[in-house]
Structure 1
Amino acid sequence: MEPNQPAQVAKESSKAPTGIAGFDEITRGGLPRARTTLLVGGPGSGKTIMALQFLAHGARDCKEPGIFVAFEESSRRIEANAESFGWGLADLLRKKELFFLDAQPKSDLVQAGDFDLGGMLAALEAQAQAMRARRIVFDALDVVLALLPDPAAKRREIYRLHEWLLARELTGIITAKAGGDENSVVIQQPFGFMQFMVDCAVILDHSVALGVSYRNLRVQKYRGSGFDENESPFLIGNGGLVVDVARTRVHVHPKVSNERVPSGVERLDTMLGGGYYRGASILVTGYSGTAKTTLSGAFAGAACQRGEHTLFVSFDSDCNEVIRNLASVGIGLDRYVKSGCLRMISARSIAGSAESYLVRIKTEAEEHGARCLVIDPVSTWYKSSNDTTAQSVADRLIDWSKGEGITLVCTSLLDEMSNRTESGSPLQISTLADTWIHLSYLVQAGERNRGLSIVKSRGTAHSNQVRELILSDAGVTLADTYTAGGEVLMGTLRWEKERAERVASEAAEAAAKLKRVKLDAEEAELKVRMKSLETELVAKQVEKALLVRSTQSHEGELSRGRTQMKELRGDDETIAGGKASQP
């Protein structure tokens, strides 16, 4: 790496940064230093603003004084028009870090004989030396060149100007008007050769399609440097030009996070296996009134409760209306707006094409330091642009949010009248979204109830159930799933089933309790009977023992009595036995 460092430093120092967000990234550092750049565009394309922003940035931030030569508008008008951008031109002019030269031909000018730019360039050289200027802009050069009699004279003066810039090593910009139809940007002849002469050529385009304004720029050539060749949208914001380079930027794999962030609905987090992934893109689709805004508002409230800066962009309602409506379902966002943690933007402050929406949203998110972003609904872009442009912008929004590690929640409105299904979202960003939540209506028993299902959620073992979404003063929650005959029950039917199950449970519990009492009584009765039988058994056993002893005693008495009787009667056996026993 070390041997390449000097070349890298030299490459960076050969470019003059413009200070235009995105453009310096497209050109790998800015315009070619000490060389000439041509800006070509039609009316309202932003040529003068871009050139003036280049000068202001150089004088203010790069310590490179600049000169602005105005061939079309007076310097006073240009300064007044640029005041809203906050560049501090008046202060730069007072410090002599910036100089305006009025070179507009007078309207009543009567040309007599030939003229050239030599006198003006001599005056400019003295001014440049006095203020040590490093940058210079010739705005609307075609206006003064139109006074020359023939193409040869015009070509001669253009070469004179170009050689003068190179000899003084000034970083120059020449602006010129574009001609042709609105589908092509071609510099007016006979000045077309300027595109071949300069070192860098930038084409600005301003067009209108379906009543929507589009601004795009493209670097046509850049000698000695790589650059992004694709067309990039831009807008003129509060600070000047802002260029969207997400479409042309080399893709960088975003950092993948395993951290989970709450959705704002506890039971939805359970269905998702713990919530959304940090930096993921979440799409919420549904018909009007299915609580898409409520679900995204719950996410914004949970993010702010964690202390994470959040940007909420609403295209359907005014911000105050959104805050009021969400408060009715227990989602209080006003305190977060007051604390500065939540920034809310309504569609009334963002107007134009889908490209304009994207650039402004990115600018607001970066200024706010947002870690979470809500766009409600993103399908508005489909109405403001053609299908291809809107789809491209939505795709770039997801790529950008992933690259920045921003958790993105977008809602998309489905049209009930167009018979679209959950897969028929106007913007097919569902293929790029990490989590897709679909909200729907279920009509049962004369009621319309909201249902929520998770179509997909990458990397999570999510639920496949359709749950009823319940909105109340206490907040947002999901009801338990109840089915009957394979059909999901919601609303009154669910309530009736809950009540029936509760009554049946209570009846079963009472019956079981009564059965236990009966069994206890029977058990006690059996125990008493068993005790009585045991006592009776003992008595019988005693009686039997007495009977046995009595019988044995009686038999003994009878045997002794018979023996005595025999002895008294002189029984021969007894006498013989007696005699035999004598000695």
Structure 2
Amino acid sequence: MKQASTAPPQGCPKALTGITGLNEMTDGGLPMGRTTLLAGGPGSGKTILALQFLAHGARDCGEPGIFVAFEETSQRIVANAGGFGWDLPSLLEKKVLYFLDAQPAPDLVLAGNFDLSGMLAALEGQAGAMRSKRIVIDALDIVLALLPDAMAKRREIYRLHDWLLRHRMTAIITAKTGEGAESVMPQSFGFMQFMVDCSIVLNHSVVQGVSQRNLRVQKYRGSAFDENESPFLISKRGFEVAVARTLGHVDANVTNERVSSGIERLDTMLGGGYYRGASVLITGFPGTAKTTLSGAFAEAACRRGEPTMFVSFDSDGSEVVRNLSSVGIALDAYIQSGCLSMISARTITGSAETYLVRIKMLAQEHGARCLVIDPVSTLSKSGNELTAHSVAERLIDWSKAQGITLVCTSLLDEMSNQSEGGSPLQISTLADTWIHLNYLVQAGERNRGMSIIKSRGTAHSNQVRELILSDTGVTLADTYSAGGEVLMGTLRWEKESAERVSAELAEAAAQLKQVQLDAEEAELEVRLKSVQTELVAKQVEKALLIRAIESREREAARGRSRMAELRGADLNMAAE
């Protein structure tokens, strides 16, 4: 039998899968007009992926498809897919989707030669009538198991592959692998991995009681692809692959707009609040008011009229609302108006990927502009340690891409020695703003302290402030230090009280000294006035004395002159 060329067409055109993340991993989709092998163990999601690929092609790409079912009947497949929202019955009614039931009878006894020629002839007629572009051969291993030897199996695989290439249909062939971590394909069937142009392996395992699913593109001829394993999830929308951010990814739009944290003094410390679309991490030990700070942010967002979602992993939503009301944070009205969506996830179990998909789906349905996750460290619970960091990274990337302001709390172990310990997820380096809450033990009591570890793109306070909770609200106390140590609580109150008493005593002493100085000044002024009076008297006496002396001297001078005159007269008389 002449084999058709297996070289991919020039430029390797792609067929979109309609599966979130898979198009990114394969750089655009599956090879168009070529065959893809989809291998995985029982329950790994092979049929769902293949059926979603067909439904997307028929509904959104104008490419009718055929599903060949060797394991389950078409009625069961359509019924099982009813919860994904693909509306397969309407596609069947429009004749853009066709199911071929090819399940071997349970009591089938093989006699004589057996091949796929009859089925392929029937498919050729159906494909021509529909002008189908896509086809899925589901559970081919079921029919191959009926063949007597490896040579017969290989012959039929070649026959099928040649038929697919001649008709240039974009095909998916699903096949089972062994159970367990190895997931090895049976040797008699594994050689097909070398024949096809694209090979994808699905794995499903349970780690510490938590279901973990991942996908890996094993090969892709003529195209770049992501070689690493990527987690995936089967959600109510179908198959979703979580792809990590890669080089060349378009950055999210950034803005200088600020949004309030809900605490006025914290906004001042941050230079005006959080950036719009930023990721904020609040870390702290149990009871340090992480939920309170998150609630204050949610209330401020609702006051601005922004749809907000609050996801609580620690408590029921009603308990969170009640507890926050005790510190003046009222959320009831916003829940009733629909502006705030409280999600109680305390009893939800599953993988970190499950949490991420549900959070994204609920946030999109609510149209959230602000999102609170309390605490995000829940993602790292037992069984999720290996994937939690990647999930947290993708959560932050997704929120930035959507322009959602994300506030996450992270619970620290109170018994640890961490003073400013980062998040157990190690996402503190990814967060734009990191606020740390802790206890300061002084004078036999605990007081809450708050500091800003970092806040990218803005100047921020480096002070440790006391966080004060009361029935009137949440605020931050002014920094108070004594002897180089920051004081809080009653120790601060006692120190302030002592300083007030000392200041009052100093003021009284100063007033007494002022009175004494005033008296001494008055006494000196009296003495000075007396001396001045005495001085004036002396000056008057001196002046009078001088005048008297001068008067006597004048009189004496006049007397001498008169005497001289008189004597002169005597001389004149003697001459006559």
TM-score (norm 1): 0.85
Inter-CA distance 287–574: structure 2 relative to 1 (3 Å threshold): farther
Correspondence 1:183 to 2:173: no
Inter-CA distance 279–57: structure 2 relative to 1 (3 Å threshold): same
Q: Is the 8 A contact 1:35 1:166 kept in 2?
A: yes
Give the AA of the match of 2:114: F
In 2, Cα distance between the equivalents of 1:348 and 1:166?
Answer: 52
| Secondary structure of the corresponding residue to residue 234 of structure 1 | strand
1:384 aligns with one of 369, 382, 385: 382
Q: Is the 8 A contact 1:281 1:434 kept in 2?
A: yes
2:216 aligns with one of 218, 223, 228: 218
Residue-by-residue CA offset, 1:30-76 (whole Å, 9 max, x unaligned): 22222222211111111111111112212221222222222212222
Correspondence 1:291 to 2:289: yes
Q: CA deviation at 1:419?
A: 4.2
Find the counterpart in structure 2 of residue 84 from structure 1: 83
Find the counterpart in structure 1 of residue 99 from structure 2: 100
Residue-by-residue CA offset, 1:121-157 (whole Å, 9 max, x unaligned): 3333333333332222222121122222222222222
Q: Is the 8 A contact 2:306 2:370 kept in 1?
A: yes
Deviates more, 1:495-504 or 1:466-475: 495-504
Q: CA deviation at 1:204?
A: 1.0
Q: CA deviation at 1:308?
A: 4.4
Inter-CA distance 201–283: structure 2 relative to 1 (3 Å threshold): same
Q: CA deviation at 1:212?
A: 0.8
Q: Is the 8 A contact 2:433 2:456 kept in 1?
A: yes
Q: Is the 8 A contact 1:232 1:248 kept in 2?
A: no
Deviates more, 1:341-350 or 1:90-99: 341-350
Q: CA deviation at 1:231?
A: 0.9
In 1, Cα distance between the equivalents of 2:544 and 2:422?
Answer: 101
Find the counterpart in structure 2 of residue 57 from structure 1: 56
Find the counterpart in structure 1 of residue 567 from structure 2: 572
In 1, Cα distance between the equivalents of 2:521 and 2:194?
Answer: 111
Find the counterpart in structure 2 of residue 233 from structure 1: 231
Find the counterpart in structure 1 of residue 491 from structure 2: 493
Q: Is the 8 A contact 1:246 1:400 kept in 2?
A: no
Correspondence 1:355 to 2:353: yes
Q: CA deviation at 1:86?
A: 1.1
Find the counterpart in structure 2 of residue 481 from structure 1: 479
Q: CA deviation at 1:98?
A: 2.0
Q: Is the 8 A contact 1:47 1:204 kept in 2?
A: yes
Find the counterpart in structure 2 of residue 167 from structure 1: 166
2:204 aligns with one of 203, 206, 216: 206
Unaligned 5+ runs, structure 1: 1-8
Residue-by-residue CA offset, 1:214-246 (whole Å, 9 max, x unaligned): 111111122222211111111011211111112
In 1, Cα distance between the equivalents of 2:342 and 2:193?
Answer: 45
Give the AA of the match of 1:190: S
Q: CA deviation at 1:549?
A: 5.0
Inter-CA distance 290–561: structure 2 relative to 1 (3 Å threshold): same
Inter-CA distance 413–54: structure 2 relative to 1 (3 Å threshold): same
Q: CA deviation at 1:426?
A: 2.9
Q: Is the 8 A contact 1:59 1:92 kept in 2?
A: yes
Find the counterpart in structure 2 of residue 412 from structure 1: 410
Residue-by-residue CA offset, 1:150-172 (whole Å, 9 max, x unaligned): 22222222222222222333222
Inter-CA distance 249–308: structure 2 relative to 1 (3 Å threshold): farther
In 2, Cα distance between the equivalents of 1:518 and 1:261?
Answer: 59
Inter-CA distance 468–20: structure 2 relative to 1 (3 Å threshold): same
Residue-by-residue CA offset, 1:470-497 (whole Å, 9 max, x unaligned): 1112222122233344433221111222
Give the AA of the match of 2:176: K
Correspondence 1:267 to 2:257: no
Deviates more, 1:427-436 or 1:254-263: 254-263
Find the counterpart in structure 1 of residue 46 from structure 2: 47
Q: Is the 8 A contact 1:35 1:170 kept in 2?
A: yes
Unaligned 5+ runs, structure 2: 1-8
Give the AA of the match of 1:203: V
Give the AA of the match of 1:356: T
Find the counterpart in structure 2 of residue 4 from structure 1: none
TM-score (norm 2): 0.86
Find the counterpart in structure 1 of residue 194 from structure 2: 196
Q: Is the 8 A contact 1:379 1:426 kept in 2?
A: yes
Inter-CA distance 57–517: structure 2 relative to 1 (3 Å threshold): farther
Find the counterpart in structure 1 of residue 3 from structure 2: none
Find the counterpart in structure 2 of residue 136 from structure 1: 135
Q: State the identity %.
A: 73
Find the counterpart in structure 1 of residue 156 from structure 2: 157
Residue-by-residue CA offset, 1:522-577 (whole Å, 9 max, x unaligned): 7778778878877887777667656655665565456556766x48xx9534533x
In 1, Cα distance between the equivalents of 2:41 and 2:568?
Answer: 166
Q: Is the 8 A contact 2:422 2:428 kept in 1?
A: no
Q: CA deviation at 1:23?
A: 1.0
Correspondence 1:430 to 2:425: no
Inter-CA distance 294–563: structure 2 relative to 1 (3 Å threshold): same
Q: Is the 8 A contact 1:23 1:30 kept in 2?
A: yes
In 2, Cα distance between the equivalents of 1:507 and 1:165?
Answer: 100
In 2, Cα distance between the equivalents of 1:29 and 1:78?
Answer: 27
| Secondary structure of the corresponding residue to residue 324 of structure 1 | helix
| Secondary structure of the corresponding residue to residue 417 of structure 1 | coil
| Secondary structure of the corresponding residue to residue 206 of structure 1 | strand
| Secondary structure of the corresponding residue to residue 122 of structure 1 | helix
| Secondary structure of the corresponding residue to residue 244 of structure 2 | coil
Deviates more, 1:528-537 or 1:142-151: 528-537
2:315 aligns with one of 317, 333, 355: 317
In 2, Cα distance between the equivalents of 1:221 and 1:157?
Answer: 23
In 1, Cα distance between the equivalents of 2:456 and 2:34?
Answer: 51
Give the AA of the match of 1:30: G
Q: Is the 8 A contact 2:352 2:384 kept in 1?
A: no
| Secondary structure of the corresponding residue to residue 428 of structure 2 | helix
In 1, Cα distance between the equivalents of 2:291 and 2:366?
Answer: 21
Q: Is the 8 A contact 2:369 2:403 kept in 1?
A: yes
Aligned residues: 568
In 1, Cα distance between the equivalents of 2:486 and 2:175?
Answer: 67
| Secondary structure of the corresponding residue to residue 290 of structure 1 | coil
Q: Is the 8 A contact 2:281 2:408 kept in 1?
A: yes
Q: Is the 8 A contact 2:312 2:346 kept in 1?
A: no
In 1, Cα distance between the equivalents of 2:392 and 2:27?
Answer: 25
In 2, Cα distance between the equivalents of 1:257 and 1:48?
Answer: 44
Give the AA of the match of 2:109: V
